[in-house]
Amino acid sequence: MINHLFACIWVYTAKLEHEANYQKTWMTHINIKNETWENKYLNAYYFTTVTMITVGYGDILPENDVEMVLCVITMMLACCVFGYTLNEVGAIFSSFFKIGNEIKMKISII
């Protein structure tokens, strides 16, 4: 869901930059400024996925300060979500082990 949100923001940012007459954007870098919205979204989704999992192939790059700030925000949010997810998975396993130990205690009492 977060990836979809940032892909939409990434496409919208390029649209605003085009309207503000930015010469260098990520869309001009890969020459998709005149492509369909679906193609732009697919490229943006690919980029945000690669950015969020910190692979960073380098085929799509932020080309100006606005895009760099958006990338930093994306990476920071992705790190927070990853940390939160790991914590929640740990809490689930901890809960399973606690319940398992309680069941063993009750069985041993009987």
Domains (ranges, CATH) in the chain? 2-109 (1.10.287.70)
- Taking residue 32's Cβ as centre, other Cβ atoms within 10 Å add up to 17
Rg (CA), the chain: 21
Query: 76 CB contacts (<8 Å, ≥6 apart)?
Result: none
Could you tell me if 105 and 97 are in contact, meaning their C-beta atoms sit under 8 angstroms apart?
A: no
Which pLDDT value is given to residue 9? 95
Which pLDDT value is given to residue 11? 95
Helix axis angle, 2-19 to 65-109, nearest 10°: 170
Alpha helices for 1-110 (secondary structure H): 2-19, 26-29, 37-52, 65-109
In eight-state DSSP terms, residue 87 is H
Q: Could you state, in chain order, the average pLDDT of each consecutive group of 10 residues for the chain (110 residues)?
A: 93 94 92 94 94 84 93 90 91 84 73
Q: Which amino acid is at 23?
A: Q
Which pLDDT value is given to residue 110? 63
What is the pTM for the complete model shown? 0.76
